[in-house]
Amino acid sequence: MKFKSRRNNIRVSGIPEAEKESWEDSEAKVKAVIKEKLQIDVDIERAHRVDKRKSHKRNANQPRTIVCRLRDWKQREAVIRKARKIKPYGLYVSEDLAPETLQKREAQIPKLKAAKESGKIAYFILDRLIVRDKPA
């Protein structure tokens, strides 16, 4: 079984999609949007759209997510932190997690929401939910 690391990957959603978009086009679009909205220059090793085009489904006009492999982990963290901090309108940046991890997180979301509503600090580290009391 071949294992490919997702350590330096991010997922970027909200970038319009062209009809016959190549990998180079996707890479250029991501670089331009991150430069414009987050003021960060990134070195992308490769970028591509995920999933197949949705021609007959409800979300047919919604652009597909782009997965990008950045040069190193520090760049990835800088992009994710800045995106979380300034929350640019229409641009969504997240870590590239395995489907199994996403399923485990989804099952724990009610606990996360309950903890946050009760005034605690709650967050995920991969598929583990961490809940702590806020410092006094």
Mean of the per-residue pLDDT values of the chain: 89
In tens, the pLDDT along 40-76 reads 999 999 999 988 776 655 556 788 999 999 999 999 9
In tens, the pLDDT along 23-41 reads 999 999 999 999 999 999 9
Domain hosting residue 24, numbered range: 9-96
Q: Is residue 113 part of a domain?
A: yes
Mean pLDDT of 97-112: 92
> What pLDDT sits at residue 5?
83
Q: How far is CA 14 from CA 43, 49, 90, 105, 107, in A?
A: 20, 12, 6, 23, 26
- Give how many domains the chain has, as a whole number: 2
In tens, the pLDDT along 126-135 reads 889 999 998 8
Same domain assignment for residues 18 and 54: yes
Burial class (CB in 10 A: 0-12, 13-18, 19+), 13: middle
CATH number of the domain within which 40 lies: 3.30.70.1820
Mean pLDDT of 77-91: 93
Tokens of 115: 């903890």
Whether pLDDT at 2 is above 60: no
Q: Is residue 4 part of a domain?
A: no
Whether pLDDT at 94 is above 80: yes
Same domain assignment for residues 26 and 65: yes
Tell me the sheet residues that pair with 69: 9, 46
Helices 73-86 and 23-38 sit at what angle, rounded to 10 degrees?
50
Select from 99, 90, 123 the least CA-distant residue to 109.
123
Tell me the sheet residues that pair with 48: 67
